[in-house]
Every structure is written in structure tokens, then in C-alpha cells.
A and B are shown apart, each in its own frame.
Chain A
């Protein structure tokens, strides 16, 4: 099965930066972008504009911004953690500097990791490189036949 990263990001500049950082670091997974929380949930649960997609075809990693239109990132996280199909998906919150309460809420909803988007271009590249290599190579996910 081909490998996909679901990037949940409403800011076009940050989307472009993330894509560029992944490519530059030779991470060639297909990047699917959801521009708000509704699109993200539609993609994961194969509803709305993604109706008919194979629900078993899950991304290997979700990069989740918190400040999103329609449904915010914490709520996306809460819903995917409470559904057995997506409960065990690796989700890294990748967001602009936020309140300590956002960090706490992310961990309370069992985000795997919380990473601040660096402001400087070079730092952004470096963070995406480390993040990509860690979650796509080092981290192990369950593979068995049971529903996830």
C-alpha cells in the first residue's frame, strides 16, 4: 500500500513550507492536505467529498494544526481517538506557538507528540526533517489484522 501523510493545515504558506521540507529531506510519501477539521475527518472516515474512499487506507502519519476553520484541531483529535478505526493513528500536533492550555489539551486527547512550528525557514526545515524521519522510520505501528 502506498504511504500517505495527512497534513491538516489551513495556511497555504505553511502547507507549501511543509511540502518543501519533506521533499528536500527525501521523504516521498504522498501528502494529502485537509484545509479544515471537517475535511480532515471526511478524509479519515471516507465521508463527504471523500465518500467511496477505502477506509482501510489510512495515512501513516497525521500532522495536525490546531487553529482550524469549522472544527478545530483538538476536536479532530478527540474524534479520531474515539473511533476504533483511527484510535491508534500516529498524530503529531504541528502548530504555531500557542497557550500552555493547548499543549495540555493535545496530550489529554493523546496526541503522540506536540511540535511548535519554528518561525525561521532553516529551523522549520530541520524540525520537519527530524519529525519525518522519527515518525516514518523509527516509530512502529501495529500491523495485525484486527480493526485499528
Chain B
């Protein structure tokens, strides 16, 4: 297993789901900092060091971006498109976690090279379990891409 402390970026606008996710991760075997973005714009600001995150050290990349699709301001598919379209974030591991049952959302996410697409369960018990499984897989089993060298 890989021992890492790269943070997870949770892009989720629902405060209940945010709280449940944080609780689930706290109770799991992984100990990682979680950064929360409440909408698509905040997620992009974090990833590109703009807005509230201006000046952030971009070499510190999240081990995982967990991305909801239905988001205020910039929706999840647009966030995914922007991250895949930028050299700095093209290889960033991203998992879409959404209540959407639309096959077109799955297909478009895969066409935009999402690493994985997971349906968000309705019950809080199952949601807890799914968050834990996602966190453990991506932060202990999966090996993320090497940190890119960025010119200052």
C-alpha cells in the first residue's frame, strides 16, 4: 500500500453530503486532508491557483478530485473538460460521484477521460460506505501521476 498525504478535493455543493463524506473519511483507514469546493468555480480556482486560491503552490496536487456533476456556477462536466484541457491537470485522477442516472452523463464523463464514474447512493449508510471505498481505492491502492515540475 502507498503511504501518502496528498489531499482530496471534494467538489460538492450539498452541505449534508459534505458532512457525511468528511465523517466517512475520518472513520476510514486513510488520514488525509480534505479540501472542499462548494461549486465548480471554487474547484477550478483551487486547481489553477486563482481567485481565493491565488498564489497557492500548484505542485501540491490532490491525490483525487471527487466531483459532483450538478454544481452551481460551473457544472461538473465543464470542470472536467477544463481540467482535462489544461496541461497542468490533464492527468489528475478524477472520480465523478453523482446521483445522475443518465447514461449520457456516464458517456460524456468517460469521453472526457474521467478516471471513474460512481453513482451516489440515496441512503446515507450506503453513501458512507461508497465514500470510504472510493477514498481507500484512490488514496491507498492507486498510484497517482508523479508531481509535475512547474516553472515558478
- Interface positions of A (Cβ within 8 A of B): 87-88, 90, 100, 103-104, 107-108, 110, 112-116, 118, 123, 127, 130-131, 133-135, 138-144, 146
Q: Contacts A134-B133, A134-B137, A139-B118 hold; do A110 and B113 have CB atoms under 8 A apart?
A: yes
Pair A115/B91 contact, Cβ less than 8 Å: no
Q: Contacts A88-B111, A123-B1 hold; do A138 and B118 have CB atoms under 8 A apart?
A: yes
Q: Using a Cβ–Cβ cut-off of 8 Å, how many residues does chain B contribute to the interface with A? A: 28
Contact of A133 (CB < 8 Å), options: B113, B118, B133, B143: B133
Pair B133/A113 contact, Cβ less than 8 Å: no
Q: In chain B, residues 119-143, which have Cβ atoms closer than 8 Å to a Cβ of chain A?
A: 119, 130, 133-134, 136-137, 141-143
Q: In chain B, residues 94-152, which have Cβ atoms closer than 8 Å to a Cβ of chain A?
A: 103-104, 106-107, 110-111, 113, 115-119, 130, 133-134, 136-137, 141-146
Q: What residue in chain B is nearest A81 (Cβ atoms)?
A: B113
Q: B134 to chain A: which residues have CB within 8 Å?
A: 138
> Shortest Cβ distance from B104 into chain A, in angstroms?
7
Q: In chain B, residues 73-106, which have Cβ atoms closer than 8 Å to a Cβ of chain A?
A: 90-91, 93, 103-104, 106
Pair A113/B117 contact, Cβ less than 8 Å: no
Q: What is the CA–CA distance of A113 and B104 in the complex, to the nearest angstrom? A: 22
Known A88-B111, A139-B117, A140-B117; 4 more pairs at CB < 8 Å: A113-B142, A134-B116, A141-B110, A142-B103
Q: What residue in chain B is nearest A118 (Cβ atoms)?
A: B1
Pair B107/A138 contact, Cβ less than 8 Å: no
Q: What is the CA–CA distance of A88 and B108 in the complex, to the nearest angstrom? A: 10
Q: Contacts A123-B1, A144-B104, A146-B107 hold; do A107 and B133 have CB atoms under 8 A apart?
A: no
Q: B137 to chain A: which residues have CB within 8 Å?
A: 130-131, 134, 138
Pair B110/A142 contact, Cβ less than 8 Å: yes
Pair A114/B143 contact, Cβ less than 8 Å: yes
- Interface positions of B (Cβ within 8 A of A): 1-2, 90-91, 93, 103-104, 106-107, 110-111, 113, 115-119, 130, 133-134, 136-137, 141-146
Q: Contacts A88-B110, A139-B116, A142-B106 hold; do A108 and B91 have CB atoms under 8 A apart?
A: yes
Q: What residue in chain B is nearest A106 (Cβ atoms)?
A: B145
Q: What is the CA–CA distance of A131 and B1 in the complex, to the nearest angstrom? A: 12
Q: What is the CA–CA distance of A104 and B142 in the complex, to the nearest angstrom? A: 13
Q: What residue in chain B is nearest A110 (Cβ atoms)?
A: B113
Q: B115 to chain A: which residues have CB within 8 Å?
A: 112-113
Q: What residue in chain A is nearest B117 (Cβ atoms)?
A: A140
Q: A87 to chain B: which residues have CB within 8 Å?
A: 111
Q: What is the CA–CA distance of A61 and B107 in the complex, to the nearest angstrom? A: 16
Q: B2 to chain A: which residues have CB within 8 Å?
A: 116
Q: B117 to chain A: which residues have CB within 8 Å?
A: 139-141
Pair A103/B143 contact, Cβ less than 8 Å: yes
